[in-house]
Amino acid sequence: MSAIILCYHKVGPKIEEGRRLNVSPGRLRSHASYFKRKGYRFVRAGDLAQSWSEKTVCFSFDDAYWSTVEWGLPELDRLGVPGTLYAVTSLVGKTSNWDPSCPRPLAGWDALVSAQARGHEIGNHTHSHRRMSELTAEEQLSEIRIADEMLREHGITPGSFCYPYGAYDDTTVEVLGECGYGVGLALNKRVAAATDQRLVLPRIVVGYSDALPMLLYKIYLRPRLRRG
């Protein structure tokens, strides 16, 4: 049993968001429409703590960019597809300061609360978007707990956690479990297997050039070629 977990970032027109970490709204629509036609079960990341059906797919969006809320979620809403957005709580409503060469607006609290009310999950992406593997156990605990508390103070219930940059170590996983999280999303070039540890589930990163044929290559064919 496996689950396809896709990792997006920004969703917007190229003229506004460029190509880096971005996909167009139409491309996101084509991806979601494909899985809908094929009868996949769409889940929020937090749902991955439970058992999976044979055809399971999760659309996740790192950093909770404003463009994702403005352009991406309406595409999912029209298809009845839930998504999971990961918010960096110290920067909600501000800009992505971890990318000084191309800072972009991040969604505000009202937009995140509205997204949750429409069935999307807002997950924990730490308080300040630091590489967890470079922090002490105490610092990692603080990053997770402060973010969790801020989300809940705004009426948001985070069902899962996402590692910034996909970076973690054994301490991170242990601390995350201590904080009560049952699902943590990392990065990898394969689908998630039922035997994977739920706190370090792999995701496939989706880029600007990933039209549907390339996405299907990443999901189905590339892992086989790597094994060969």
**Domain span at residue 91?**
2-227
Number of domains in the chain: 1
Global confidence as pTM: 0.96
Residue 124: the pLDDT is 98
Q: Annotate 169-192 with b (16+ C-beta within 10 A) or e (fewer).
A: eeebbebbeeeebebbbbbbebbb
Q: Could you tell me which of 33, 22, 31 has the C-alpha nearest to residue 65? A: 22
Contact 93, 107 (CB under 8 A): yes
Structure tokens at 178: 């201590």
Residue 227: the pLDDT is 61
Q: CA-CA distance, 162 to 101, in Å (whole number)? A: 23
The tens place of each residue's pLDDT in the chain, 228 residues long, gives 799 999 999 999 999 999 999 999 999 999 999 999 999 999 999 999 999 988 999 999 999 999 999 999 999 999 999 999 999 999 999 999 998 888 999 999 999 999 999 999 999 999 999 999 999 999 999 999 999 999 999 999 999 999 999 999 999 999 999 999 999 999 999 999 999 999 999 999 999 999 999 999 999 988 766 665
Residue 226: the pLDDT is 66
Contact 127, 143 (CB under 8 A): yes
Residue 228: the pLDDT is 54
Report the SS3 class of residue 100: coil
Phi, psi of 14 (to 5 degrees): -60, -35
The CATH number linked to 54 is 3.20.20.370
CA 228 to centroid of chain Cα atoms:
29
Contact 128, 143 (CB under 8 A): yes
